């Protein structure tokens, strides 16, 4: 498929998902500072999800820049990845409203997990397609992306198990650990990750 | 017309239509699991419409990649196609709220039918324009797209008639048959459908 | 300026304006047909504004395809044109709610008039810039666009005056005459309007 | 990184931020002129924020057109710049509702200040990256942009201090001084600011 058109369509969807989350800020009913300070918890969840989507985009950009061709299979796994991200505004709104409660924190993690699986599948499919068309060097580069290696390892499973327990005692650990994981993924990238166009 | 600018404008509209459907998820008023589970029926309708728009986009991408030129007529039929899709968030929200009722299910099908007619007209016009400019091979390729052949045949008319009756007895059949038809259209594509840019 | 980036940014804004108008359809509170039929008047206003924006886009596409360069002045007049269009969702929502009343019909026309002035200024500035850079042929082509010639003539002033009076007796004439004018502008285009990229 | 894809993604986010502000206009509940006139104060705040985002975009366009390469650091500072702008719809809605009150006016200025800092950092990073890759001429051009020189000088700090005091006596001075500053930035640009693509 036309790689630039698929990337542009993907980018439009991602940009909209990221930006419509701002609609969840309700205009304060009062002109006192308390009006805006009440939005504090949603602001915290909003900032984390904003970071989430940008980290996802950065890695998507890298993979798509390298991918030799967008096959029908890659297109549909890319769509599943978009679908999982399209639920982020829902989970963000809920956890931003009830940050100290278990169900919203678990739900936020479930969407994160769903996104991780879609991202892993997308990466694997692009690696497979690269190998199939003889681009072994590209397959190797994509397979060495730190976020992919993290999500595709026992480390992330253990992390999930630990977080699931921690939420029982202090629910906001769901968001906090997600934030830590996102910062890790934002900083740890392959050296050439911003040198490919 | 500038094919890439028309395609980019079309993609922006399609991406927005697909993504603003998420605004229909209302933030739960409670922090219990029941809060999010209540969104279940809308989630089901949302997922089907998300698939709907992606199937439509895939076929549009294929036709536009092949089309030799965007004439004024193609532009306006493309706009009718966009207009029909712009109503999908409305029909999705209604059927997602009242999934067991006849009127919302019929309305969802009416919008689907309206979209089918716009899609058929768009395909026919591109075939005509391709022939007129001497691109017979392209006209043939476009005419052999399985979704176009399905919608342009007696099979789809019979399917519609059957669904109209089924909804009388079990309303959700409207969404379920649409889902089946979309999955058929997602899987059955011409072999070269992802090899053209 | 980078013509393609200005055009892409403009297109994104136009696409969003056109598409968010669908958010004004409120999900029916009932599962009876009356639920959706109550949206009828808004649907009528929505369809006209959808056509409005597409007619505007078509002419913008033509002018930008021909324009030799986007100057700072053209950029800012283009922004005024975007600003005028950004109010269309507001005037559409109001007139779609109170179609039989004078104030909403007049307001819709005021926004249309504001848009017309911005469009005329944009056309004049592009003509001027084309002449200034020695592209007389392009200046002539743009000056001969039927919508520009209509809006820039006594005909449109007389039309406005007549409509202002008609609304006093039958308010919906505001929307109906706008629709007639848009259809005229959609059909009457220069012969090469879809042959330039 | 792929400069055009980063620019296109940025543009999509900026276009959405600018356009969704229109959703804050509530459809009047009455068909009298008073219905629309009540939106007057929000309209004033809306127009200023619309101008804000366009001024920001113009300067961003200039810098990105010149920037030799988008590094990972530039990408993340660009994201901070986007994040600061994504709050504009919130501050605009609040100040548009309570224009005569101190807290909303101060909040609007805080977001403006946050945006200024992100914009300054982005400019500095692009200058640094240009120098590092041996493009001294580009670094010099970017450093001479009037908005950057204004925001990066004692003049803007003094202006801020004066505004903070003025709001105590007449709150709308917050918006009015911002408007004056934006108009200054819109008019004062380098001579070649619209000649680079």
pLDDT digits (tens, 9 = 90+) for B36-75: 999 999 999 999 999 999 999 999 999 999 998 899 999 9
In three-state secondary structure terms, A143 is helix
**What's the whole-number mean pLDDT along residues C23-49?**
95
Q: Kindly tell me if the per-residue pLDDT of C159 is higher than 80.
A: yes
pLDDT digits (tens, 9 = 90+) for C38-75: 999 999 999 999 999 999 999 999 999 999 889 999 99
**Which of A12, A15, A190 is the best substitution to test chain D (most D C-beta atoms within 10 A)?**
A15
Note whether residue C194 is domain-resident: no
For residues B131-136, average pLDDT = 92
Respond yes or no on whether ipTM tops 0.90: yes
pLDDT value of residue B189: 85
Among A73-82, A141-150, C167-176, D188-197, where is mean pLDDT lowest?
D188-197
Q: Where residue C188 falls among pLDDT bands split at 50, 70, 90? A: confident
How many Å lie between the alpha carbon of B20 and the closest alpha carbon of chain A?
A: 8
Contact assessment for residue B6 and residue C194, using Cβ atoms and an 8 Å cutoff: no
Note whether C2 contacts B: Cβ–Cβ < 8 A.
no
Q: Which among D9, D89, D101 is the nearest to A57, CB-wise? A: D9
> What is the SS3 assignment for chain D?
CCHHHHHHHHHHHHHHHHHHHHHHCCCCCCCCHHHHHCCHHHHHHHHHHHHHHHHHHHHHHHHHHHCCCCCHHHHHHHHHHHHHHHCHHHHHHHHHHCCCCHHHHHHHHHHHHHHHHHHHHHHHHHHHHHHHCCCHHHHHHHHCCHHHHHHCCHHHHHHHHHHHHHHHHCCCHHHHHHHHHHHHHHHCCCCCCCCCC
Residue C31 located in a structural domain: no
Please state the rounded mean pLDDT for residues D183-189. Answer: 89
Q: Of D20, D83, D103, which has the smallest distance from its Cβ to A50's Cβ?
A: D83
Lowest-confidence segment of A80-89, D83-92, D142-151 by average pLDDT: D142-151
Structure tokens at D50: 């619309």
The closest CB to that of B61, out of A1, A98, A107, belongs to: A1
Q: How confident is the model at residue A2 (pLDDT cuts 50, 70, 90)?
A: confident
pLDDT tens across A16-59, in order?
A: 999 999 999 999 999 999 999 999 999 999 999 999 999 999 99
d(CA A41, CA C155): 57
Contacts of A187 in chain D (CB under 8 A): none
B196 assigned to some structural domain? no
- Whether the CB of D22 is below 8 Å from some CB of chain A: the reply is no
Task: Please tell me the predicted confidence (pLDDT) of residue B151.
Answer: 85
What is the three-state SS of chain C?
CCHHHHHHHHHHHHHHHHHHHHHHCCCCCCCCHHHHHCCHHHHHHHHHHHHHHHHHHHHHHHHHHHCCCCCHHHHHHHHHHHHHHHCHHHHHHHHHHCCCCHHHHHHHHHHHHHHHHHHHHHHHHHHHHHHHCCCHHHHHHHHCCHHHHHHCCHHHHHHHHHHHHHHHHCCCHHHHHHHHHHHHHHHCCCCCCCCCC
Q: In this complex, do D47 and C17 lie within 8 Å of one another by their Cβ atoms?
A: no
Q: Average pLDDT for residues B152-160, to the nearest whole number?
A: 87
Residue C149 has pLDDT above 70, yes or no: yes
Q: What is the mean pLDDT of residues D66-93?
A: 95
Q: For B139-149, what is the mean pLDDT?
A: 90
Chain B residues close to A97, C-beta within 8 Å: 27-28, 31
**CB distance C89–D22 less than 8 Å?**
yes
CB contact under 8 A, C194 and B76: no
Inter-chain residue contact C94 with D7, CB threshold 8 Å? no
Residues of D in contact with C12 (CB under 8 A): 11-12, 15-16
- pLDDT exceeds 70 at position C197: no
Confidence of residue B134 (pLDDT cuts 50, 70, 90): very high
C192 pLDDT higher than 90: no
Query: In this structure, is residue A197 part of a structural domain?
Result: no
Query: B15 and A12 in contact by Cβ < 8 A?
Result: yes
Nearest to A79 among B19, B54, B193 (CB): B54
Phi first, then psi: give them for residue A173, nearest 5 degrees: -60, -25
Q: Identify the pLDDT of residue D48.
A: 97
User: Which residue in D has a C-alpha nearest to residue A54's C-alpha?
Assistant: D79
Residue A157 covered by a domain = yes
Asked if A3 and A67 touch (Cβ cutoff 8 Å), the reply is yes
Of C20, C71, C107, the CB nearest to D36: C107
Whether A102 shows a pLDDT value over 80: the answer reads yes
Task: Say yes or no: B19 contacts chain A, CB-CB below 8 A.
Answer: yes
Could you read off the pLDDT of D16-52 as tens digits, one per residue? 999 999 999 999 999 999 999 999 999 999 999 999 9
Between chains, do D39 and C90 touch, taking CB under 8 Å as contact? yes
Hey, is the C-beta of C89 within 8 angstroms of any chain D C-beta? yes
pLDDT at D2: 84
Q: How many CB atoms within 10 Å of residue B170?
A: 11
Q: Which residues make Cβ contacts (< 8 Å) with residue C27, sequence separation at least 6?
A: B24, B90, B93, B94, B97
Residue C71 tokens read as: 């100057």
Cβ of D1 within 8 Å of Cβ of A32? The answer is no
Does the beta-carbon distance from A5 to B23 stay under 8 Å?
no
Mutate which of B5, B18, B101 to disrupt the C interface (most C C-beta within 10 Å)?
B5
| Residue B114 structural domain | 3-187
Q: Which one-letter DSSP state was computed for residue A194?
A: T
How far from the centroid of its chain's Cα atoms is residue B193's Cα?
17
Looking up tokens 């999900």, which residue turns up? C27
Chains near C (3 or more Cβ pairs under 8 Å): B, D
- How big is the C-D interface in CB pairs under 8 Å? 85
Nearest chain B residue (CA) to C3: B5
- Whether A182 and A51 have beta carbons less than 8 Å apart is answered as yes
User: Domains in chain B: how many in total?
Assistant: 1
CB contact under 8 A, C36 and B103: yes
pLDDT per position as a tens digit, C83-142: 999 999 999 999 999 999 999 999 999 999 999 999 999 999 999 999 999 999 999 999
Contacts A–B by Cβ distance under 8 A? 84
Helices (H), chain B: 3-20, 33-37, 40-66, 72-86, 88-97, 102-132, 136-143, 146-151, 154-169, 173-187
Length of chain D: 197
Quickly state the pLDDT bin for B197 (edges 50, 70, 90).
Answer: low
Which chain D positions have a beta carbon within 8 Å of A22's beta carbon?
17, 20, 86-87, 89-90
Q: Do D17 and A18 touch (CB under 8 A)?
A: no
Best residue in C94, C107, C125, C133 to probe D by mutation, most D CBs within 10 Å?
Answer: C94
Of A15, A193, A196, the CB nearest to D16: A15
B-C contacts at Cβ under 8 angstroms:
85
User: Which chain D residues are within 8 Å of C102, Cβ to Cβ?
Assistant: 31
Does residue A155 belong to any structural domain of this protein?
yes
Q: What integer best gives the mean pLDDT of chain D?
A: 93
Q: Can you tell me the mean pLDDT for A55-67?
A: 92
Q: Which DSSP letter does residue A22 get?
A: G
d(C-alpha A44, C-alpha A40), whole Å? 6
Residue with tokens 């050296």: A191
Ranges of H-type helices in B135-172: 136-143, 146-151, 154-169
Q: Do A19 and D16 touch (CB under 8 A)?
A: yes
Instruction: Decide: A12 and D13 in contact? Cβ < 8 Å.
Output: no
Distance from CA of B157 to the nearest CA of A (A): 28
In a domain, D195, yes or no: no
DSSP B134: T
Q: Is residue B165, in this structure, part of any structural domain at all?
A: yes
Ranges A187-191, D8-12, D154-158: which has the least confidence: A187-191
Which of A27, A36, A197 faces D1 most closely, judged by CB atoms? Answer: A197
Q: Which residues of A touch B188 (CB under 8 A)?
A: none
Task: Identify which of A16, A24, A72 has the shortest CB distance to residue B189.
Answer: A72
Q: Is B27's Cβ below 8 Å from some Cβ in C?
A: no
């Amino acid at each position: 498929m036309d790689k630039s058109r698929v990337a542009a369509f993907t980018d439009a969807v991602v940009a909209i998902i990221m930006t419509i989350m701002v609609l969840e800020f309700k205009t304060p009913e009062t002109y006192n500072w308390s009006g805006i300070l009440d939005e504090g918890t949603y602001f915290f969840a909003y900032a984390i999800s904003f970071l989430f989507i940008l980290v996802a985009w950065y890695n998507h950009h890298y993979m798509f820049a390298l991918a030799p061709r967008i096959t029908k299979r890659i297109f549909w796994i890319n769509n599943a990845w978009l679908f999982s991200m399209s639920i982020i505004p829902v989970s963000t709104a809920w956890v931003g409203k009830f940050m100290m409660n278990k169900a919203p924190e678990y739900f936020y993690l479930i969407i994160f997990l769903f996104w991780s699986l879609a991202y892993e599948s997308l990466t694997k499919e692009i690696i497979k397609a690269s190998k199939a068309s003889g681009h072994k060097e590209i397959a190797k580069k994509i397979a060495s992306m730190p976020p992919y290696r993290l999500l595709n390892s026992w480390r992330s499973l253990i992390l999930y198990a630990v977080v699931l327990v921690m939420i029982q005692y202090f629910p906001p650990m769901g968001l906090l650990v997600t934030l830590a994981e996102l910062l890790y993924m934002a900083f740890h990238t392959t050296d050439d990750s911003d040198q490919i166009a």
